[in-house]
Structure 1
Amino acid sequence: MNEFAAETRKKTLDKDLEKLAHVEEAASFVARGLVAPGLGLLFLALSGIIAALFVMGEPGSVIIIAAAAIGGYMALNIGANDVANNVGPAVGARALTMGGALAIAAVFESAGALIAGADVVTTISSGIVDPAAVADKGVFIRLMLAAVIASALWINIATWIGAPVSTTHSVVGGVAGAGIAAAGFAAVDWATIGGIAASWVISPMLGALFATAFLAFIKANIIYRDDKIAAARLWVPILIAVMAGAFGAYLATKGLKRVVSISGLQIAVLGLGCFVMVWGLAKIGVERQAAELENRNQSLRKLFRLPLIFSAALLSFAHGANDVSNAVGPLAAIVHAASGEESSVVGIPLWVMVIGAFGISLGLVLFGPKLIRMVGGQITKLNPMRAFCVALSAAITVIVASWFGLPVSSTHIAVGAVFGVGFFREWYTANSPRRRAYLERKGNKARAARKQGKGHDEAEAGSAAIGDPDIDDVPVSREEIARRRLVRRAHVMTIATAWVTTVPASAVLAAVIFLLLNLLT
């Protein structure tokens, strides 16, 4: 009897311990989900503390400290949403791991913001609604607070639903909406708003156009050639050099031009110099790699991986230089107004830039992977060649748009390029005579090898070439085509709707928040 009771107690104890283990596992899972929000809240508190160290005891210090925390919240959301466009294609193409992408983007976003970001802040802080148009400093401060809260909330919502949106459009909409609520429609620079509306169409169309053109060139001159490696030796160094020249001019346009005064001719010379130097280095590197590669599309991926990594870093630097303004532009305007300065030129304290720079990087690390996966792998399937076209398109589109004075959004350019690559692949797979001829040659070689009994390996290589997924060959079933190849239409509608909604949504939110702040003061 005692033995039976002991055995019963033992089984009961084992069951209880098993339940406790499950509870502990569940608690651990829930706790992991709270780590990122907890660290985000800690950063907001730290932003307020940093502001307090510099402004405590000065006029309007309480407002500035609160604004610093709100600016930190905006920076976190920019990092969570906008940075995905810079590193998403490289991650989707497996040129970078998620951890590597987060590390590279965090470093270069911060560097771009701190080195070359200050000039852009003045546009956001005083270029949409002139501080002089709002005579009451308190009203202007509430206007900017409402703008940054509304734009941050909208970006947070967009990130939650998985839509990459333009943070520039969000903050401009927020400033415009609060400006209308504060001082009427006349206070807003409607030319800026009109340019943003035009960029809804211009940016994705240009991004798609350039990305499609480069992918068509790569398919015609490298992928669908019988001797791929020989073609790669000729064209890959040139393509890499074009990317280097484009990024040289891109960084000069988006970053260097804001530090030192350089003309359009000097930017062109800088881009040409980068092209020549990198072409020589790339030619040596490609020759060394090509000597060990098989004549397969899988081999071509290796030649594009390193350029993709560099492109992710350079895009992140330029993004940090340009879009830090969205996080700290309203904050800089609040600091300027609260200090009682009469000058219309908004100064940018270093501590304001630090909050923006590190907030973007932290937001990327804590909340960015969701959008990185969306841009890199959930819209359409990317490999290094396609991702290379997306990155190159982003750089060239900004240069061309700047040259002609066209308003563009880097977010819309990158996502438009991804869509362009995907839709072009659909059309090319169904309609390309070059592709059909290439597949027929490969099929004939495979059949001839089997007939002549040249060996299983050679015949197998020919058959593999016919169904090689890297050259977009048609799988057996249409269901397989839809699963592996086609652009996901649901994402087209979600993202397009979010783009069109961004400015009016953030404007309405900002107007409501401004009116609420007025009631509370």
Structure 2
Amino acid sequence: MSDGPKGNQWRTLDKDLNRISQVETATQYIARPLVAPGISLAFIVLAMLAVSFFFGQQPASLIVVAASAFGAYMALNIGANDVANNMGPAVGARALTMGGALVIAALFESAGALLAGGDVVSTISKGIIDPASVADPRIFIWAMMAALISSALWVNLATYVGAPVSTTHSVVGGVMGAGIAAAGMSAVSWPTMGAIAASWVISPVLGGAIAAACLAFIKANIIYQDDKIAAARRWVPVLIGVMAGAFATYLALKGLKRIVSIDIGAALLIGAVVGAVSYVLTAPLIHRQSEGMENRNRSLKTLFGLPLVFSAALLSFAHGANDVANAVGPLAAIVHAVEQGDAAAKVAIPVWVMVIGALGISFGLLLFGPKLIRLVGSQITKLNPMRAYCVALSAAITVIIASWLGLPVSSTHIAVGGVFGVGFFREWYMERRARQNSVGGSMGMRVAAAERKRRKLVRRSHFMTVIAAWVITVPAAAAMSGLIYMIISAAVV
């Protein structure tokens, strides 16, 4: 006689095992959203431990350790939010997969920060606060700590609601708010703040206008030509040369400050040489690649794919070189104040601070970046390689023009403004063609208001969310920073 389970017992056992497997599946489903925050927390803790090892025997080491934790947190948020603007168009145009974009961005952002990142940063964010008003090292340290915490919290909140915002503007708002809380309204340089406020309009409008003009040129000279392939052979190498020259100029101005200082004239000369060489090299390659292609738009998308990948990588390198230093500036300022006992207007950025910034950006991008990459790349408006090329080119050209005019601009606002510019231009162009194709404005050709709204190529909800986030970034970060400064001051007195 067998002692094993009988038929009913087997069925009962199967049910119990099925319940256990369902519990395991539910546990994995619930735990999945906690993986990224867990890794982020581990990175912050490791940064604190590493810093405490180097500063453990020094006075006020707890301040530096705490600041390093908030600096690591800030870097994670930069990776989650700011970097999406460089990779979004390439991913939305399907020139890069999400995985490929994350790897390229992490590598080039880190390389830009570590190899070409500015070795000196303004501790008061481009002259917003009068250094004399916060000359007391103790006040200065708490003000920079408040600025660091508030800007990180604001960028985190913006990422959560799906709004790409300017990290630099967040830091500007944080420094301004802490400065006002510490020394009053007179401590703020309001002309400087006025110039920064003007950049809220200048950056996206200029970026959008250049992207729209580029798309108009491509439509007129390539897409709507009878022989698209012949037109592409003539113009695509020219466009690649223009892009290469623009990015060479952009990197010379913004990405190589640590290696060599280059003025606008020399940068333009470098760009012209690089652009000419790129044209000579790519013309035969484009001709060879286009052989046998069908005379259709899908063939054109293939020719723009590779330049788009290179543009995304170069934008990430320049962003790492230019913006990371601004973001970790308050941390560098705190370290200097603790070590030297004074509040300097400009300080050198220690290598370990840049390492925290570079690694934090990479982790933040890999863990949280896909959300905003999808938003910028595909949810605002539909992009293909030609449209995404226009966005990338406008980012480089706009920075060059702004540098020449001495205007403060945001790379985030430029890139997203380029996406909006491409989308709104397509809307205008489609309506224009519809009017041209209509026969005498007959009733049969008129489009109802509801249908016209449905045909909009830019999602208005995302447009309004992004614009609102841009407008309130500086005042929101300032208000948070002022409140945090008062809490810190009350706690340490």
> Is the shorter-chain TM-score for this pair beyond 0.5, marking a shared fold?
yes
Structure 1 unaligned residues grouped into runs of 5+:
438-473
Please give the secondary structure, in 1, of the residue aligned with 2:340.
coil
Please give the secondary structure, in 2, of the residue aligned with 1:121.
strand
Equivalent residue runs for 1:12-91 within 5 Å: 12-91=12-91
CA separation in 2, counterparts of 1:12 and 1:155? 52
Q: Is residue 403 of structure 1 aligned with residue 404 of structure 2?
A: yes
Amino acid in the other structure paired with 1:70: F
Residue pair 2:200, 2:470 contacting (<8 A) in 1 also: yes
Amino acid in the other structure paired with 1:511: G
CA separation in 2, counterparts of 1:434 and 1:104? 43
Higher mean C-alpha deviation, range 115-124 or range 166-175: 115-124
2:442 corresponds to: none
CA separation in 2, counterparts of 1:233 and 1:396? 23
Residue pair 1:224, 1:434 contacting (<8 A) in 2 also: no
Amino acid in the other structure paired with 1:55: F
Q: Is residue 146 of structure 1 aligned with residue 120 of structure 2?
A: no
1:299 corresponds to: 299
TM-score by length of 2: 0.93
CA separation in 2, counterparts of 1:409 and 1:296? 37
1:6 corresponds to: 6
Residue pair 1:176, 1:188 contacting (<8 A) in 2 also: yes
Please give the secondary structure, in 2, of the residue aligned with 1:118.
coil
Offset of 1:186 from its aligned partner? Answer: 2.0
Equivalent residue runs for 1:263-278 within 5 Å: 263-278=263-278
Offset of 1:481 from its aligned partner? Answer: 8.0
CA separation in 2, counterparts of 1:85 and 1:300? 24
Amino acid in the other structure paired with 1:174: G
Equivalent residue runs for 1:449-468 within 5 Å: none
For the aligned residue pairs, the C-alpha RMSD in angstroms reads: 2.3
Amino acid in the other structure paired with 1:505: A
Amino acid in the other structure paired with 1:218: I
Please give the secondary structure, in 2, of the residue aligned with 1:432.
helix
Residue pair 2:123, 2:330 contacting (<8 A) in 1 also: no
1:194 corresponds to: 194
1:441 corresponds to: none
Residue pair 2:117, 2:322 contacting (<8 A) in 1 also: yes
Amino acid in the other structure paired with 1:117: G
CA separation in 1, counterparts of 2:448 and 2:126? 57
Offset of 1:377 from its aligned partner? Answer: 0.3
Change (3 A) 1:497 1:421: same
Q: Is residue 491 of structure 1 aligned with residue 446 of structure 2?
A: no
Please give the secondary structure, in 2, of the residue aligned with 1:346.
strand
1:381 corresponds to: 382
Change (3 A) 1:433 1:224: farther
2:481 corresponds to: 510
Change (3 A) 1:199 1:126: closer
Change (3 A) 1:372 1:477: farther
Please give the secondary structure, in 2, of the residue aligned with 1:96.
coil
Task: Please give the per-residue CA displacement for 1:70-102, whole angstroms capped at 9, x wherever unaligned.
Answer: 000000001100000000000000000000000
CA separation in 2, counterparts of 1:125 and 1:408? 14
Residue pair 1:121, 1:324 contacting (<8 A) in 2 also: no
Amino acid in the other structure paired with 2:224: Y
Residue pair 2:255, 2:318 contacting (<8 A) in 1 also: yes
Offset of 1:182 from its aligned partner? Answer: 0.5
Residue pair 2:137, 2:341 contacting (<8 A) in 1 also: no
Offset of 1:122 from its aligned partner? Answer: 2.5
Q: Is residue 320 of structure 1 aligned with residue 320 of structure 2?
A: yes
Amino acid in the other structure paired with 1:143: A
Offset of 1:435 from its aligned partner? Answer: 8.7
Residue pair 1:71, 1:356 contacting (<8 A) in 2 also: yes
Offset of 1:478 from its aligned partner? Answer: 9.5
Equivalent residue runs for 1:427-466 within 5 Å: 427-432=428-433
TM-score by length of 1: 0.88
CA separation in 1, counterparts of 2:240 and 2:436? 24
Task: Please give the per-residue CA displacement for 1:144-185, whole angstroms capped at 9, x wherever unaligned.
Answer: 111110111111110000000011111100010011000112
Task: Please give the per-residue CA displacement for 1:252-303, whole angstroms capped at 9, x wherever unaligned.
Answer: 1111244312222211110001111100111011001111311110000000
1:415 corresponds to: 416
Amino acid in the other structure paired with 1:396: I
CA separation in 1, counterparts of 2:286 and 2:124? 44
Change (3 A) 1:39 1:481: farther
1:450 corresponds to: none
Q: Is residue 338 of structure 1 aligned with residue 309 of structure 2?
A: no
Residue pair 2:113, 2:322 contacting (<8 A) in 1 also: yes
Please give the secondary structure, in 2, of the residue aligned with 1:129.
coil
2:367 corresponds to: 366
CA separation in 2, counterparts of 1:126 and 1:346? 13
Offset of 1:136 from its aligned partner? Answer: 2.3
CA separation in 2, counterparts of 1:245 and 1:30? 49
Task: Please give the per-residue CA displacement for 1:418-469, whole angstroms capped at 9, x wherever unaligned.
Answer: 01101111111121389969xxxxxxxxxxxxxxxxxxxxxxxxxxxxxxxx
CA separation in 2, counterparts of 1:376 and 1:482? 22
Q: Is residue 227 of structure 1 aligned with residue 227 of structure 2?
A: yes
Identity across the alignment (%): 64
Offset of 1:486 from its aligned partner? Answer: 1.2
Residue pair 2:381, 2:420 contacting (<8 A) in 1 also: yes
1:453 corresponds to: none
How many residue pairs match? The answer is: 482
Amino acid in the other structure paired with 2:99: G
Residue pair 2:119, 2:258 contacting (<8 A) in 1 also: yes
CA separation in 1, counterparts of 2:76 and 2:113? 14
Equivalent residue runs for 1:466-485 within 5 Å: none
2:471 corresponds to: 500
CA separation in 2, counterparts of 1:483 and 1:25? 40
CA separation in 1, counterparts of 2:402 and 2:226? 37
Please give the secondary structure, in 2, of the residue aligned with 1:368.
helix
1:454 corresponds to: none
Higher mean C-alpha deviation, range 114-123 or range 350-359: 114-123
Please give the secondary structure, in 1, of the residue aligned with 2:39.
helix
Change (3 A) 1:435 1:325: farther
Amino acid in the other structure paired with 1:374: L
Offset of 1:108 from its aligned partner? Answer: 0.5
Change (3 A) 1:483 1:240: farther
Task: Please give the per-residue CA displacement for 1:88-125, whole angstroms capped at 9, x wherever unaligned.
Answer: 00000000000000000000101111122224633556
Amino acid in the other structure paired with 1:486: L
CA separation in 1, counterparts of 2:231 and 2:435? 16
Offset of 1:485 from its aligned partner? Answer: 6.0
Higher mean C-alpha deviation, range 218-227 or range 13-22: 13-22
Structure 2 unaligned residues grouped into runs of 5+:
439-444
CA separation in 1, counterparts of 2:209 and 2:349? 38
